[in-house]
């Protein structure tokens, strides 16, 4: 997408999208690794530690606790309505973002670090999509507090991957060079 180079409207160049992308294998590996790490951590706390029934496990209090939270919305519980419509809308939004990122990579051929960041973002997003599809909500379980501040929110590995991926793409994304 190059809206400034070709006028104010974005366009998709199908020829460019279909061209081989250097280092595209890195996107696939980073995506798979991020996805598997997220899903393994969720399986561990749900099945291995039985966190859904226990509710909370103090790991290194107050710095790190496992606190079970079914997130029906987005970050900090935004749009947290336990309805099938919200669930499928959030899945569709996540899949659209994933599609946009893949198309952007295919068009822009960014540097390796951007491809890795995109893989983290995509893998984390897919992990949360699978949660919504299987459980109807995202499995959140990490809770961190420090320095007298009691954090009431829980998050998961996918959220960390999405955040790091988005920040990495924002910082390094406009520097082209697929080496």
> Rounded CA gap, 55 and 58, in Å?
10
How large is the angle between the packed helices 24-43 and 84-108, nearest 10 degrees? 150
Distances (CA, A) of 59 to 48, 56, 66: 15, 9, 7
Q: Which of 38, 82, 131, 140 is catalytic?
A: 140
159 catalytic per annotation: yes
Active-site choice (38, 82, 131, 159): 159
Q: Measured between alpha carbons, how far is 18 from 1 in angstroms, rounded to an integer?
A: 14
38 is catalytic: no
Known catalytic residues are 140, 159
């Amino acid at each position: 997408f190059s809206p400034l180079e070709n006028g104010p409207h974005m366009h998709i160049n199908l020829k460019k999208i279909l061209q081989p992308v250097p280092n595209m294998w890195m996107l696939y590996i980073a995506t798979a690794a991020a996805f598997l790490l997220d899903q393994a951590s969720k399986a561990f706390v749900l099945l291995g530690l039985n966190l859904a029934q226990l509710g909370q496990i103090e790991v290194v209090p107050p710095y790190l606790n496992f606190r079970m939270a079914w997130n029906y919305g987005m970050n900090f519980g935004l749009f947290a309505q336990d309805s099938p419509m919200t669930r499928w809308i959030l899945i569709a939004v996540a899949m659209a973002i994933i599609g946009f990122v893949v198309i952007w990579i295919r068009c822009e051929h960014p540097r390796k670090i951007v491809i890795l960041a995109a893989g983290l973002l995509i893998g984390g997003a897919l992990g949360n999509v699978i949660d919504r599809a299987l459980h109807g909500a995202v499995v959140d379980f990490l809770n961190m507090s420090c320095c007298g501040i009691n954090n009431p929110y829980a998050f998961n590995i996918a959220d960390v991957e999405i955040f790091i991926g988005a920040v990495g793409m924002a910082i390094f994304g406009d520097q082209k060079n697929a080496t």
